[in-house]
Amino acid sequence: MKILKIFSIFILLHVAAWGATHVYLSNNASKILLVVDTSYAMKPKFNEMKQWIVNLENSSHYKKIIIGTDKALLGNLEDLKSKDVIFRTAFGRMNMDNLNRYTGMKAKKKILLSDGSIKPNGWSVVTF
């Protein structure tokens, strides 16, 4: 009987620790800034990029993904009604000036989905 009580206390402590960790990480999610190159040259790669974004979203527990394009900031990824909103326009070319709008944003990680022609400092570039 004594072993059962000790085991029950052990289980209760673990459940409480997991619960506290979940609450803390949910309230203090780290930010990921994801910028998508929606220039005309990237249009054939939109489906691949969309699948990459879905995979990132599915594998990013306790992370808040802020999404933008080379043209505008769209906001929180989970608040978008559809991933197709990201790829609604395709015109022009992307350059370093397009990324200047994201200079002041605080994010633990900055990811750029592009063709690799631009390699900004402090960004992880995923080429398609």
Please determine, for residue 94, whether its predicted confidence score (pLDDT) is greater than 90: no
Mean pLDDT, the chain, integer: 90
State the Cα torsion 19-21-24-30 to the nearest 10°.
-130
pLDDT above 90: residue 60: no
Kindly report the pTM of this predicted structure.
Answer: 0.80
pLDDT tens-digit series, residues 19-36:
999 999 889 889 999 999
pLDDT tens digits for range 100-121: 889 888 899 999 999 888 888 8
Examine the pLDDT at 99 and tell me if it is beyond 90. Answer: no
How does residue 52 score in pLDDT terms, banded at 50, 70 and 90? very high
Residue 105: per-residue pLDDT: 86
Phi/psi region, residue 14 (left: phi>0; alpha: psi -120 to 50; beta: rest), is alpha
Q: Which domains are present in the chain?
A: 29-127 (3.40.50.410)
Contacts 24+ apart (CB under 8 A), 45-53: 45/115, 45/128, 46/87, 46/90, 48/128, 49/87, 49/113, 49/128, 50/83, 50/84, 50/86, 50/87, 52/113, 52/126, 52/128, 53/77, 53/83, 53/86, 53/113
Amino acid, res. 68: G
Average pLDDT value for residue range 95-104: 84
